[in-house]
């Protein structure tokens, strides 16, 4: 008879299963921290070069292409590739961009290591800053045509980087105070990361069972790792992977965090960022340039102003850093243009956002479930918000590809699929949160929840088709 080999372990030894490939990826990130730092500084140098150099170049000629003109290439890279696919990465991998690639994160953390190291004041900790910064950056970027001109990009993106550097020089000690509290994109990133199918999971039981003394992990976004349950704040940098044998990169259901949340886990500011910021104001910011209604209203107002001899709003003498003003490109906004764009984005965006907010609040009131607040139900809209902001940013991508005479026949069906995926996932999440009891009230509440989905889909469908 064949003998079966037996492995003998010392008394009291504990065997642990070999970690899966995702966990090994996380451990490799922790072990190769220097490589990640080198990658971050490479991105910083490339980012600064593409941000600054095009400012000193002339306008591209009409026959210029992406591959032979740095201005066009930088514009396409920033707004056609970078931002759309950063949003996609948030939904697929969590905030890996923040922890591994983001130049502002690298700059603010570096400055914080060598800065004053002052305590973070209470006013910086206000949880509403990401929403306010996101709205202000979105609106201002449209007024100065940030997608079109490197001067505007340097002002908006470069200004944000300088602010991140300044905050790092003054506050924190080797941390990312800017990223945690003030970054204009942080609120949106935190929302989209909730549906990422991978995250750094913390096993609290294993943490408590570990008796080995280890130095504390320097968590740059200032997270209490021991009690971390959400992927929203985690920058997925890998520094804590393997800590106390309790932290590892792991797979999860994209619905896990939203369905497993409790009312107290969701802040009102996050819900408002989602509904008023992303679904409202950001959507309006993407669509104003193609709105026939805006053109008609502006023409009526211009006629009325001329008839009443009020001509100053028709002047195009605003400085470029306030309103778009590039005479060489024959692109100059009048004061009336600026006021109409501002009214469209803020007025139209807030109107859409308030309709969404009203439907969500009414749905939770009709459902009358004390375990389901309107803030928590709003999280079910995250997949649609993610697809919406990707569709808006990808319009810039497609504009560049169209200029390069790339065939775009495939775009329409892809857009339909993305809208169906986003709204379908959102409807599924809303159903799981609401349809716990088979009553008429709950069915009515679910119908109210579906109205915002139909509204956002209709807005994009009207614009595209």
Q: What is the pLDDT along the chain (465 residues), one digit of tens a residue?
A: 334 343 333 433 344 556 789 999 999 999 999 999 999 999 999 999 999 999 999 999 888 888 889 999 999 998 999 999 999 999 999 999 999 999 999 999 999 999 898 999 999 999 999 999 999 999 999 999 999 999 999 999 999 999 999 999 999 888 999 999 999 999 999 999 999 999 999 998 888 888 777 788 889 999 999 989 999 999 999 999 999 889 999 999 999 999 999 999 999 999 999 999 999 999 999 999 989 999 999 999 999 999 999 999 999 999 999 999 999 999 999 999 999 999 999 999 999 999 999 999 999 999 999 999 999 999 999 999 999 999 999 998 998 898 888 989 999 999 999 999 999 999 999 999 998 877 899 999 999 999 999 999 999 999 998
Q: What is the DSSP letter of 159?
A: H
Query: Strands 247-251 and 198-202: what pairing?
Result: antiparallel
Identify whether 421 is part of a domain: yes
The C-alpha atoms of residue 268 and residue 328 are separated, in whole angstroms, by 46
The predicted pLDDT at position 332 comes to 95
- Provide the phi-psi class of 161: left if phi over 0, else alpha when psi is between -120 and 50, else beta: alpha
The C-alpha atoms of residue 111 and residue 118 are separated, in whole angstroms, by 12
| Residue 119 CB neighbours (<10 A) | 9
**Domain enclosing residue 288, as ranges:** 284-464
Rg (CA), the chain: 25
The predicted pLDDT at position 438 comes to 78
With H, G, I as helix, E, B as strand and everything else as coil, classify residue 201: strand
Q: What is the rounded (10 degree) CA torsion for 116, 121, 124, 125?
A: 120
Contacts for 79-87: CB closer than 8 Å, 24+ residues apart: 79/147, 79/393, 79/396, 79/397, 80/396, 80/397, 80/399, 80/400, 80/401, 81/397, 83/393, 84/390, 84/393, 84/394, 84/396, 84/397, 87/188, 87/192, 87/386, 87/389, 87/390, 87/393
Packing angle of the helix pair 411-434, 382-403 (nearest 10 deg): 170
Identify whether 377 is part of a domain: yes
In the chain, the number of structural domains is 1
Q: Evaluate whether 227 touches 219 at the Cβ level (below 8 Å).
A: no
- Beta partners for residue 118, in sequence order: 171
Q: What is the DSSP letter of 289?
A: G
The predicted pLDDT at position 36 comes to 95
The predicted pLDDT at position 439 comes to 87
With H, G, I as helix, E, B as strand and everything else as coil, classify residue 12: coil
The C-alpha atoms of residue 57 and residue 36 are separated, in whole angstroms, by 32
Identify whether 210 is part of a domain: no
Identify whether 142 is part of a domain: no
Q: State phi, psi for 85 to the nearest 5 degrees.
A: -85, -15
Contacts for 426-430: CB closer than 8 Å, 24+ residues apart: 426/380, 426/381, 426/382, 426/383, 426/384, 426/453, 427/453, 428/255, 429/255, 429/258, 429/259, 429/379, 429/380, 429/382, 429/383, 430/377, 430/380, 430/381
Q: Evaluate whether 51 touches 41 at the Cβ level (below 8 Å).
A: no
Q: What is the 3-state secondary structure (H, E, C) of 318-381?
A: CCCCCCCEEHHHCEECCHHHHHHHHHHHHHHHHHHHHHHHHHHHHHHHHHCCCCCCHHHHHHHH
The C-alpha atoms of residue 300 and residue 235 are separated, in whole angstroms, by 49
Identify whether 121 is part of a domain: no
Give the burial class of 423: count Cβ atoms within 10 A of its Cβ; 0-12 exposed, 13-18 middle, 19 or more buried: buried
As a whole number of angstroms, the longest Cα–Cα distance in the chain is 108
- Beta partners for residue 249, in sequence order: 200
Give the burial class of 174: count Cβ atoms within 10 A of its Cβ; 0-12 exposed, 13-18 middle, 19 or more buried: middle
Identify whether 409 is part of a domain: yes
What are the counts of helices (DSSP H) followed by strands (DSSP E) for the chain? Answer: 22, 4
Instruction: Quote the tokens at residue 390.
Output: 């990707």
pTM exceeds 0.85, yes or no: yes
The predicted pLDDT at position 437 comes to 79
Identify whether 375 is part of a domain: yes
Identify whether 224 is part of a domain: no
The predicted pLDDT at position 11 comes to 39
- Beta partners for residue 171, in sequence order: 118
With H, G, I as helix, E, B as strand and everything else as coil, classify residue 121: coil
């Amino acid at each position: 008879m064949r003998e079966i080999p037996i492995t003998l372990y010392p008394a009291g030894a504990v065997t642990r299963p070999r970690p899966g490939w995702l966990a090994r990826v996380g451990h490799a990130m922790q072990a190769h921290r220097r490589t990640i730092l080198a990658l971050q500084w490479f991105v910083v140098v490339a980012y600064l070069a593409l941000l600054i150099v095009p400012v000193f170049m002339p306008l591209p000629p009409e026959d210029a292409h992406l591959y032979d003109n740095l201005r066009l290439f930088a514009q396409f890279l920033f707004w056609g590739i970078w931002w759309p696919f950063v949003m996609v990465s948030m939904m697929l991998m969590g905030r890996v961009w923040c922890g591994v690639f983001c130049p502002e994160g690298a700059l603010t953390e570096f400055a914080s290591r060598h800065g004053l190291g002052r305590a973070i004041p209470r006013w910086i900790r206000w949880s509403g800053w990401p929403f306010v910064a996101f709205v202000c950056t979105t609106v201002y970027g449209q007024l100065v045509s940030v997608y079109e001109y490197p001067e505007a990009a340097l002002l908006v993106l470069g200004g944000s980087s300088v602010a991140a550097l300044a905050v790092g020089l003054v506050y924190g000690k080797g941390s990312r105070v800017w990223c945690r509290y003030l970054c204009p994109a942080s609120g949106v990133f935190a929302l989209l990361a909730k549906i990422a199918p991978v995250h750094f999971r913390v096993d609290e039981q294993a943490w408590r069972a570990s008796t080995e003394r280890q130095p504390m992990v320097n968590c740059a976004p200032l997270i209490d790792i021991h009690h971390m349950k959400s992927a929203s704040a985690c920058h997925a940098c890998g520094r804590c992977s393997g800590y106390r044998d309790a932290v590892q990169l792991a797979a999860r259901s994209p619905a896990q965090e939203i369905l497993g949340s409790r009312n107290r886990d969701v802040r009102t500011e996050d819900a408002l960022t989602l509904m008023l910021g992303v679904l409202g104001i950001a959507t309006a910011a993407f669509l104003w340039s193609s709105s026939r209604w805006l053109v008609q209203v502006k023409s009526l107002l211009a006629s009325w102003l001329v008839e009443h001899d009020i001509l100053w709003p028709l002047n195009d003498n605003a400085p470029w850093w306030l309103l778009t003003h590039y005479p060489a490109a024959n692109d100059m906004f009048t004061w009336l243009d600026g006021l109409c764009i501002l009214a469209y984005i803020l007025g139209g965006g807030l109107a859409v956002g308030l309709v969404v907010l009203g439907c969500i609040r009414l749905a939770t009131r009709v459902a009358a479930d004390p375990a389901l607040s309107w803030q928590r139900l709003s999280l079910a809209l995250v997949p649609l918000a993610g697809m919406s902001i990707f569709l808006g940013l990808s319009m810039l991508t497609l504009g560049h590809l169209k200029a390069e005479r790339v065939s775009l026949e495939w775009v329409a069906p892809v857009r339909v699929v993305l809208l169906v995926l986003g709204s379908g996932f959102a409807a599924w999440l809303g159903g799981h949160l609401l349809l716990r009891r088979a009553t008429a009230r709950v069915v009515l509440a679910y119908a109210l929840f579906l109205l915002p989905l139909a509204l956002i889909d209709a807005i994009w469908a009207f614009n595209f088709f």
